[in-house]
Amino acid sequence: MPIRLFDSLSRDHRELRPAHPDGVYRFYNCGPTVYAPAHIGNFRTFVVNDLLRRLLELEFGPDKIRHVRNLTDVDDKTIRRAREEARPLAEVTKQWTDKFHADCAALNCLPPHVEPTATGHIPEQVSMIETLMDKGNAYRAADGSVYFKVSSFDGYGALSRVKERELKVGSALAAKPQGQDADEKEDGSDFALWKAHKPEDGEVRWPGPRDAAPGRPGWHIECSAMSKKHLGDTIDLHTGGVDLLFPHHENEIAQSQCCNGTTFAHHWYHSEHLLVDGKKMSKSLGNLYTLDQLREMGHSPMAIRYALLMGHPRKQLNFTLDSLHAAESGLKTLRSIPVVFTQIGTLDPSETPSCDFNRFFTALKDDLNTPAALGELFQLRHDLLYRSQSSGRATLGDRREFGRALYALGFDLDIAAPTVVAPPQVITLAEQRWAAKAAKNWAEADRLRGAIAALGWSMLDRKDGYSLEPAKK
């Protein structure tokens, strides 16, 4: 079964397949703005994209996927932060880039193949802006800034349906320009490709496009330019959080398609937000948790990754500390799977898995249905435990498929670390007790608990499974 993903442009679930003859799948993911620590809402988006990257690797092969994720290292926020701290912009953005990398590594997110920066691609952005001016899609304003002329692109609004929506409710698109750019723009919907230098920008400035003033690029053009440079004019997949759909991605399409004269991205995927008490987790609302804050509270990055994957990526997910406890116990249950592998002793050399891993991968490939995939993983864990203790056997094929499943989710279970392994007869009793509980045979379950205790072990129950620990003396 191919990977199918909801496409925000066509509003349909569509198969992912490389369009280029070289078979390399080109994947661009909008990266962070590096002026403060990313919060775990941001990381929900990056973890979901990491899952996608891993799944694409498993599907097409690791050398058949090219993953680009940019760093926004110049914009209003980064400049303001540098000014407030009286530090050079590059120093501030380096600090938060390093922090972002450390957090990504802790969350077991694979580094993208290319991680371009906006400041490292000024000539590419300038060149695109000049092409857009030459083609009549952009104009220089009185102050030397350059704006994209939205009315010059018929396809504007196709992604966000903004035209239909706005025109219905009294037309922001048709409205007169407002705000600080009011005197500069020809139309309120036009957006900046190049921003002429202002005193508050301090030292931050580059020579502009032809005829324009020195200044800095707008936010949207950076992704168009970096995507073109590192992936070509047409990419297979472009992703980001749902808040980027409009205006960021709508504007990227307009710039890229007018400049390059061809389709920008075949597929658009937007993951939903992480919420706190029903509101989007965000720096501006101040309702955020950083990875460090949660680690200081004793939560492991792996549990945080797990918790971020507990909800369907295209549904909003309410974050609670309880969800981290559930994630910790889920991981603990999963960690008992390697026990099976170490206890089989004589592994069946057959490469064929004895358990059905297809259901797990089918769930993931069906629009990244992580809750369903996690459910399947627990079922597999149960099946594997059972196989190892009954006439059937876990096989090398099981071990391989289980490894692939963990790889897809990016769960590092620390399998190599020695764990306290319950002896086979204790696991057998535990499985029998679990089955007795499921059959509501409480008397039998109690008897088996006693039998387990007599062997020096205690069985800890949860909703979705159990773990075995040496009994406390």
Q: Which residues bind ligand AMP (CB under 6 A)?
A: 30, 32-33, 41-42, 44-45, 72, 240-241, 243-244, 273-274, 280-282
Residue 227 or 395 with smaller CB distance to Zn ion: 227
413 exposure class (CB count in 10 Å sphere: 0-12, 13-18, 19+): middle
Find which of ligand AMP, Zn ion, none residue 282 binds, CB within 5 to 8 Å per kind: ligand AMP
C-beta closer to ligand AMP: residue 93 or 189: 93
- Asked if 235 and 56 count as a contact pair (C-beta separation under 8 A), the reply is no
Site for Zn ion in 359-398 (CB under 5 A): none
Residue whose pair of structure tokens reads 């005829």 in the numeric block: 211
Question: In what helix (H) or strand (E) does residue 6 lie, and over which residues does it extend?
Answer: strand 4-7
Q: Which is nearer to Zn ion, 190 or 250 (CB)?
A: 250
In angstroms, the Cα distances linking 248 to 29, 93, 118, 166, 223 are: 12, 21, 15, 16, 9
44 binds, among ligand AMP, Zn ion, none (CB under 5 to 8 A by kind): ligand AMP
Q: Which is nearer to Zn ion, 51 or 244 (CB)?
A: 244
Closer residue to ligand AMP in complex, CB, 38/303: 38
CB of 346 to ligand AMP, least distance (A): 47
Report residue 276: phi and psi, to 5°: -125, 125
Q: Which does 281 bind (CB under 5 to 8 A by kind): ligand AMP, Zn ion, none?
A: ligand AMP
CA 373 to centroid of chain Cα atoms: 16
Minimum distance of Zn ion from residue 31's CB (angstroms): 7
Largest CA distance in the chain: 86
Minimum Å gap between C-beta 256 and Zn ion is 11
Among residue numbers 20 through 39, which ones bind Zn ion (CB under 5 A)?
30
Contact string 179-218 vs Zn ion (x = CB under 5 A)? ----------------------------------------
In the complex, the smallest distance separating the C-beta of residue 30 from ligand AMP, rounded to whole angstroms, is 5
Give the shortest CB-153-to-Zn ion separation in angstroms: 18
Q: Decide whether 234 or 239 has the Cβ nearer to ligand AMP.
A: 239
**Shortest distance in whole angstroms from residue 230 CB to ligand AMP:** 18
355 binds Zn ion, rule: CB under 5 A: no
Q: Which of Zn ion, ligand AMP, none has residue 394 at its interface (CB below 5 to 8 Å by kind)?
A: none
Chain residues 58-117 in contact with Zn ion, contact rule CB under 5 A = none
207 membership: H or E segment, kind and range: none
Evaluate the omega torsion of the peptide bond into residue 247 and state whether it is cis, within 30 degrees of 0.
yes
54 contacts which partner out of Zn ion, ligand AMP, none, CB within 5 to 8 A by kind? none
Using DSSP, state whether 383 is helix, strand or coil.
helix
- Residues 6 or more apart whose Cβ sits within 8 Å of residue 361: 1, 373, 404, 405, 408
- Return the exposure string of 355-379: e unless at least 16 CB atoms fall within 10 Å of the residue's CB, then b: bebeebbebbbebbbbebbbebbbe
DSSP-assigned letters across all residues of 8-52: TTTTEEEE----STT-PEEEEE---B-SSPPBHHHHHHHHHHHHH
Q: How far apart are CA 227 and CA 30, in angstroms?
A: 10
* Residue 223 partner contact from Zn ion, ligand AMP, none using kind-dependent CB cut-offs of 5 to 8 Å: Zn ion
Q: Which is nearer to Zn ion, 256 or 329 (CB)?
A: 256
Residue 41, contacted partner among Zn ion, ligand AMP, none, CB below 5-8 A by kind? ligand AMP
Complex with ligand AMP: residue 312 or 447, whichever CB lies closer:
312
221 binds Zn ion (CB under 5 A): no
| Smallest separation, CB 226 to Zn ion (Å) | 8
Give the count of beta carbons closer than 10 Å to the beta carbon of residue 82: 22
**Minimum CB separation from Zn ion for residue 20, in Å?**
21
What's the number of CA atoms in the CB half-sphere (13 Å) around residue 293? Answer: 9
* CB of residue 223 to Zn ion, shortest distance in Å: 3
Nearer to ligand AMP, 15 or 98 (CB): 98
Question: What is the spatial distance between Cα 287 and Cα 319, in angstroms, rounded to a whole number?
Answer: 11
Residue indicated by tokens 């590594």: 105
Q: Measured between alpha carbons, how far apart are the two ends of the chain, in Å?
A: 51
223 binds Zn ion (CB under 5 A): yes
**For residues 54 and 270, which CB has a smaller minimum distance to Zn ion in the complex?**
270
From CA 381, how far away is CA 387, in angstroms rounded? 10
Distance in Å, CB of 274 to ligand AMP, minimum:
4
CB of 77 to ligand AMP, least distance (A): 8
Tell me how far apart the alpha carbons of residues 179 and 201 are, in angstroms, rounded to a whole number. Answer: 18
Nearer to ligand AMP, 127 or 369 (CB): 369
- Residues near Zn ion (CB under 5 A) are 30, 223
